[in-house]
Amino acid sequence: MMNELEKLCLLDGISGDEGAVREYIIGRIGKKAEVTVDALGNVIVFCKGKNRAKNKVMVSAHMDEVGMIVTYINEDGTIKISPVGGIDPRVVFGRRVRIGSKGICGVIGGRAIHNLSADERKKSVPFDKMTVDIGTDSREQTEKLVSLGDSVRFVSEFVKFGDGFVKCKAIDDRAGCAVMLRMIDEGVECDTYFTFVVQEEIGLRGSGCAAYTVDPDYAIVLEATTAADIPPSEDDEKVCELGKGPVVSFMDRHTIYSKELYDLAFETAAENDLPCQTKTRIAGGNDAGAIHLSRGGIKTCAVSVPCRYLHSPSCVIKQEDFENTYALTKLILDRIYNK
């Protein structure tokens, strides 16, 4: 599963431009299941099980990653950008990026530090003060390579380090996609829908459409969620911690999760000697926010891999949490088919 994660993370697919990820996933699934693609670009997979279930169940993860988009080309050939998704500008300045379908290389920069005032040096550089340098010196030269609306993606390496740690861009949420691909490969006990959805990072847009189409009784959302378990964070400020297992949320800014499924997740983890934790702060959100409100309402839970430095070129997870997220999700799924 780790090799799968690497392949997925190194693909580029910001919100609204998930084509490369979608093509890879469709190719990977092949004839193992029935695959359809809706008008928004969601991949909806029906995996035939050995048995029929009492309940229709959907497992979902999003294909898109955060990034930027080209908004203007300056006279000197540099490019202005805006964020796509929630990106802290502090993780952007000085980064290498790829632009558009040609994969044009660039570096994000701005005014040199010795030209900043003392007050400006204390603040992160806002997006409207950043430019991308692609090595041209005129608007005409840049326009031959880049167009307005082109996607701008972080360049990142997939690196294993320390005691089972992994770093790359787009672990949010290619980790969830990798878990679902493994489940499809292995086959499922009962009929199951898997949805690889688009545009989560800009407002949970694809998942609502996919859930409306599938119309499940239960849904499991697979995610990566913020861990702040590094100094100077203490106690509840850590939110969740790497190495303590998958994260099952009780509430975030978009969803109050099914108490039935929340309790089921922790009971299942305890019965199978799997580590499991919850988020200690009500923050963030994920596709559950759109899914649980679809049609007449869907009982939904989220199972997430704890991740440091989320929405950056250097997301960090621990391999054991990733593997345990798969194990717990599979066990929960088996219990809700005929609940």
For residues 251 and 118, the model is more confident at: 251
188 falls in which pLDDT band (50, 70, 90)? very high
How confident is the model at residue 125, as a pLDDT?
Answer: 87
Average pLDDT over every residue of 219-224: 98
Q: Which residues are catalytic?
A: 200
Q: What is the pLDDT of residue 120?
A: 75
Q: Report pLDDT for 119.
A: 80
Residue 121 has pLDDT above 90, yes or no: no
Would you say the pTM of this structure is higher than 0.85? yes
- Residues 33-54 have a mean pLDDT of 96
CB 178 within 8 A of CB 163: no
Residue 115 has pLDDT above 80, yes or no: no
Residue 217 to residue 235: CA distance in whole angstroms: 36
The pLDDT value given to residue 135:
97
Classified as helix, coil or strand, 190 is: strand
Stronger pLDDT, 283 or 11, i.e. the higher one = 11
Average pLDDT over residues 197-214: 97
Res 137 pLDDT > 90: yes
Q: Which residues contact 219 (CB under 8 A, 6 or more apart)?
A: 57, 58, 59, 60, 211, 288, 291, 292, 298, 299, 300, 301
- What backbone torsions phi and psi does residue 121 show, to the nearest 5 degrees? -65, -20
Residue 280 has a pLDDT of: 93
User: Given this model, what pLDDT does residue 8 score?
Assistant: 98
Which segment of 96-100, 108-112, 127-131, 249-253 scores lowest on mean pLDDT?
A: 108-112
Span 67-154 CATH architecture: Beta Barrel (2.40)
2-65+169-336 CATH: 3.40.630.10
Confidence of residue 234 (pLDDT cuts 50, 70, 90): confident
pLDDT for 16 beyond 80: yes
pLDDT at 123: 80
Q: Name the residue among 225, 266, 267, 198 with its Cα closest to residue 13.
A: 198
Mean pLDDT over all residues of the chain? 96
| Averaged pLDDT, 19-45 | 98
Q: Where in the chain is the domain with CATH 2.40.30.40?
A: 67-154
What number of CA atoms fall less than 13 Å from residue 211's CA on the CB side? 28
Question: What are the residue ranges of CATH 3.40.630.10 in the chain?
Answer: 2-65+169-336
pLDDT of amino acid 127: 93
Statement: residue 40 has pLDDT above 90: yes
CA 291, 308, 81, 145 torsion-angle sign: negative
Does the pLDDT of residue 223 top 90, yes or no?
Answer: yes
User: Exposed e or buried b for every residue in 227-265, given b needs 16+ CB within 10 A?
Assistant: bbbeeeeeeeebbbbbbbbbbbbbebebbebbeebbebb
pLDDT band at 150 (very low <50, low <70, confident <90, very high): very high
- Mean pLDDT, residues 286-311 taken together: 97
Q: What is the mean pLDDT of residues 305-311?
A: 97
For residue 116, the model assigns a pLDDT of 77
Does residue 4 sit in helix, strand or coil?
Answer: helix
Mean pLDDT for the stretch of residues 78-97 = 96
